[in-house]
Amino acid sequence: MPPSATVDTSKTVKLERYNSYLRKIHSTKVLNASSKVLFRATMLVALVLLLLFAFNYHPLSDSRAAASHHLHRRSFLSTGIFSSSSSSSAWEKRVRQSSTAKRQHGLSVLVTGAAGFVGSHCSIALRKRGDGVLGFDNFNDYYDTSLKRARQNLLEKQQVFIVEGDLNDGPLLRKLFDIVPFTHVLHLAAQAGVRYAMKNPQSYISSNIAGLVNLLEVAKAANPQPAIVWASSSSVYGLNTENPFSEEHRTDQPASLYAATKKAGEEIAHTYNHIYGLSLTGLRFFTVYGPWGRPDMAYFFFTKAILHGKSIDIYRTQDNQEVARDFTYIDDIVKGCVGALDTAEKSTGSGRKKRGPAQLRVYNLGNTSPVPVGRLVSILEGLLGTKAKKHLIKMPRNGDVPYTHANVSLAYRDFGYKPTTDLATGLRKFVKWYVGYYGIQPRVKKENSHADDSA
C-alpha cells in the first residue's frame, strides 16, 4: 500500500476519535445541566410543600400553639371581612344597627364575653330597655360551645349582634371603635375558673391580662373615650380572713393564678385611669349562678351528677368545717352591672392624654348571705327528687378558698344595689331551666307561678 494511503487512514481515525470525544463532553454537559435543573425544581417543590405545611399545621397537643393558630385564623377572617367591599358593608351595617340605641339618651355598649353567662344576661337586659348593644366573643372551648351558641341565638332574637373575635386582635377592635362611638364598654370576657389555671395557666395571662391591656389600649385612643365597667372577682380577696369582705380589705394574697390575674387587672385599670383618663369601674362578683350558667360551676355539675346517679365531692376545710359561698343570683348581678354603667362618669382623656381627673371605682356584688355547700346540695336534692351520692373530702390546695361573704354597702350607696333572690328561689329557677334545656324529666317540684324563669 502506498505511504500516502496509510497517512490518510490515520488522519481519519484520529478525527473520528476527536469527534467522539467532543460528543461525550457535550453529553456530559447536557446531563449535568439537566441534573441541576431537576435538582432546583425538586428543591422548589419541596420548599412550597414545606411552606404549605407550616401554614396549615398546628400541634393538637400544644394548647398555646393551638390558641395562637386560633387567633391568627380569627385575624385572617376579620381581615377577610374588611377586604370585600360588599361583605364589609353588610357587616358594618349589622354592627351599627346592633349598637344603635332605641331610646332617647340610650347607651351604646360594647359587651365583651357576650356569649358567656353574665354577658348574655346583661346584653339582653340592656337591649330590652332600649340601649344599643354590640357583643364580642371568641367562643372558646373552655366549656361546651353549643351552650354559647344557644345564648347567641337568644341575643339574635333581641337584635344583638355578636362579633366573633379575640381580645388580642387589635385591628378588629380598632375597626369596631372606628365604626361605632361607644359610650360604654362592659368588659366581661375572661378566662374563668380557679382550678383550670393549674392545667392551662397561659390562657389566663392571654385573656385576663394581655386581652385587658389590648382593650384599654384601643379605648384610650378612641374618640370619644368610653366609660368602662369590667368584671374583677371576689377571688382577689384570696387568703383574707376578715368577714364580710369589704373593698377596703387587703387583696395582696391571691390563692390562685386566676385571682392573681384579676388583681393584676385592678392595678392595670388604676394605671390607665391615672395616665390616660379612662373612667374605670371594677366589679367583684361573688359566685354567680342561675339559668344559662356555666357548666364548670358546682351547682351546675352537681345537678348533672345527681340526675345521672354519679357521686359528687363535697369539700370540707382542713379543720373539718363546711365550705360556704356567697351564692349570688344572676338577676341581682345584672342589676349591679346596669347600675354601675348608669352611674359611670365620662372618661376625661383625648388624643391619648388625660385632660382631668377620671372616675376609678371597685365594688363588691354579692348576696351577703353565705350558704354551706352541703345546704346547696340539699336544696338540689329536693328540687330534683333524687338523693345525691355524697363524697366528703378535705379541700385540696388548688386555689379554692373556704369561705366568701360580700359586704355590698358601697354598691348600695352609689347605685342602689340590693340583692333580692335567696338560694332556694334561685336554684328552683335554675333547675327549671336545666331540665327544659337538656330535655330531662326528673321528679322536679312545681315552681310557684310567680317565680318566672329569667331571660
Least Cα distance to 399 among 230, 262, 261, 197 occurs for 197
Please give the Cα distance from 74 to 166 (Å, whole number).
7
Three-state secondary structure call for residue 279: coil
The three-state secondary structure class of 73 is helix
CB 158 within 8 A of CB 128: yes
φ, ψ of residue 164 to 5 degrees: the values are -90, 115
What gap in Å lies between CA 97 and CA 59, rounded to an integer?
Answer: 40
Q: How many other C-beta atoms can be found within 10 angstroms of the C-beta atom of residue 165? A: 23
Catalytic residue among 143, 196, 204, 258: 258
| 272 catalytic per annotation | no
Grid coordinates representing 448 are 310557684
Of 333, 418, 398, 405, nearest to 372 by C-alpha is 405
C-alpha cell read off for 411: 354598691
Burial 408-427, CB ≥16 within 10 A → b, else e: bebbbeebebebebebebbb
Distance CA(96)–CA(99), nearest Å, equals: 5
- Contact status, residue 329 vs residue 293, Cβ threshold 8 Å: no
Q: Which residues are catalytic?
A: 258
